[in-house]
Amino acid sequence: MAHGEYHALVESAESSLAPYAQRSLTQDSQSFLNGAEILKHFQDEWQTYSGQMKLSNRTPLQLERDRILYSSALRKQTEKYHVLYSDRRKVVRNYTTHTMRMAHVARTICKALRLNSDFAEAIAIGSKVGAAPFIHVTKETTNQWLQRRLGELDRAQPTSPKLQKSPQATLFGDEQTAQVPTWFASLQSRDIVEQAIRWIPMARGDGVDTAYNSGAESYWLLTTDPYLRESDRALYHPETMYGIWRHSRSVRPREASFFHQCLLNEQTQHRITWEHVTYESVVVQFADDMTWIIENLNDAKDAALLVGGKANLFLQMQTSLGPEAPSDVLQALALRDAGALYTYFISDFVRNSQRVLTRPSAGPEMRMALRTGDGTALIGPSEAAGMTLDRMQQFLVKNVFETPRIRNRNKMLQSVAQVTLDILYEEKSSLVGLVNDRANLESWPDDRRDKAISMLDDKVHKAQLAVDVFASMGDQEVFDFVGIESF
């Protein structure tokens, strides 16, 4: 194939996709997250023999999927565990099982809707790489710890010039419309605000109040070197990182609902906005929630977590939902059939979304309508299925995750998480040792190693780095780090 024909190869490979699906090379997505031109990058690479060998059978979005799939961050998920107890019995699974099942659900839905299943899989497997050890148990602990540290640093700057404007106006210029995280809005020291803007991954918009969430952390770990705050050489579409950051079903796309921008290396700028939403990212939002609910229900059944000790949890949920719930769901619960639950919710999502995507006017403009916040272009489950999922989730929280055995275990793990973060932050030798380990593994030159160590004097950077390191650890690593041993 002659030079310059990679574009045609990609178009051919993606020709079976619907006109509203995300493609690797489009007019509305011409630059990578770090600003490099997508088509030019691949055309230049294609012109070498090794480039042709690498690219001849894969599209840019498939390459992104593979880059995440083979990352060390994803491999760490096998060392993070989800545990459910019943008295002295427990069911344990590593977090890779959730990620792979979520990715499979997303692929299944995308194939039925002729969306880009490779792209959806990239979002799905990337969305959890920033999840902290012990998964959901420590999410809020990590958020509270980082907010507390930043507040302490802000109050410890009595001589620092105070802000002449609010943090909203300082960051975005428009004090009336900019919606920033509540922790950021409370900062008063100009020095700390400027450091936070530089070192902490944050956004304005809907659902951005926390200083830590697994989606933002996944984006951060995949696209930057956390020790030096440099943009990583790996190249990603901003649409991929939007989907990874905004992978929760609770955040719905609409105009002005999300905006992230940061400057790295004083020259490389990352920019992600609500306009980078795709149908594939909406599918992943649903796949994540649905998988979490069904897998936890199945695990709770296996662990014999009984309400009142009299009946199977599937039957308890069936009774709780009542006869008004969809008959297919009630039948699946009666048969204790998790597979049938997957089938119902996937089929419902596809069937309900096809009503939107197969309208006479459906075409490339559908993708643009979604990107501009047109609610009529949004896909998703039926109202009945969505409400049923919400009720199933509420049932699990009340009858599984609020049981004394699990509640007490969670308190212990939250304390361990806080101690780990405190050690990483307060004992400089811990982070220095990790810098040296990274430098040795990657053969850094001395000046790069020295720069990373000197950056630890910046306390805001050090606080965020403590979170980055913690999120990169496996469960047993945390126990070993704080000195909890089993005999």
Residues 82-93 have pLDDT tens digits of 887 766 677 888
Question: Distances from the Cα of 135 to the Cαs of 130, 270, 423, in angstroms?
Answer: 10, 27, 20
Q: Which of 18-27, 302-311, 345-354, 478-487 has the highest mean pLDDT?
A: 345-354
pLDDT of residue 93: 85
Greatest Cα pair distance in the chain: 70
Residue ranges and CATH numbers for the domains of the chain are: 1-132+288-401 (1.10.3210.10), 156-276 (no CATH), 406-482 (no CATH)
Q: Which of 111, 124, 120, 123 is nearest to 17 (CA)?
A: 111
Q: How far apart, in whole angstroms, are the C-alpha atoms of residue 235 and residue 51?
A: 15
pLDDT of residue 403: 79
Residue pair 203/259 in contact by the 8 Å Cβ criterion: yes
Q: How far apart, in whole angstroms, are the C-alpha atoms of residue 270 and residue 281?
A: 19
Q: What is the mean pLDDT of the chain?
A: 88
> In which band, very low, low, confident or very high, does the pLDDT at 392 lie, cut at 50, 70 and 90?
very high
Give 359 or 183, the one with higher predicted confidence: 183
pLDDT of residue 177: 57
For β-strands 224-225 and 230-231, DSSP reports them as antiparallel
> In which band, very low, low, confident or very high, does the pLDDT at 486 lie, cut at 50, 70 and 90?
low
pLDDT of residue 1: 44
What is the reported pTM? 0.92
Residue 37, beta-bridge partner list: 31
> Is the model's pLDDT at 332 over the cut of 60?
yes
> In which band, very low, low, confident or very high, does the pLDDT at 435 lie, cut at 50, 70 and 90?
very high
Q: Which two tokens stand for residue 314?
A: 């599937």
Residue pair 219/130 in contact by the 8 Å Cβ criterion: yes
Q: How far apart, in whole angstroms, are the C-alpha atoms of residue 225 and residue 238?
A: 18
Question: Distances from the Cα of 376 to the Cαs of 250, 252, 382, in angstroms?
Answer: 18, 13, 14
Angle, helices 279-302 vs 117-126, to 10°: value is: 50
> In which band, very low, low, confident or very high, does the pLDDT at 339 lie, cut at 50, 70 and 90?
very high
pLDDT of residue 3: 47
pLDDT of residue 193: 87
pLDDT of residue 111: 97
Residues 14-35 have pLDDT tens digits of 999 999 999 998 877 889 998 8
Give 299 or 290, the one with higher predicted confidence: 290
Q: Which of 51-60, 82-91, 460-469, 476-485 has the highest mean pLDDT?
A: 460-469
pLDDT of residue 284: 97
Q: How far apart, in whole angstroms, are the C-alpha atoms of residue 220 and residue 103?
A: 21
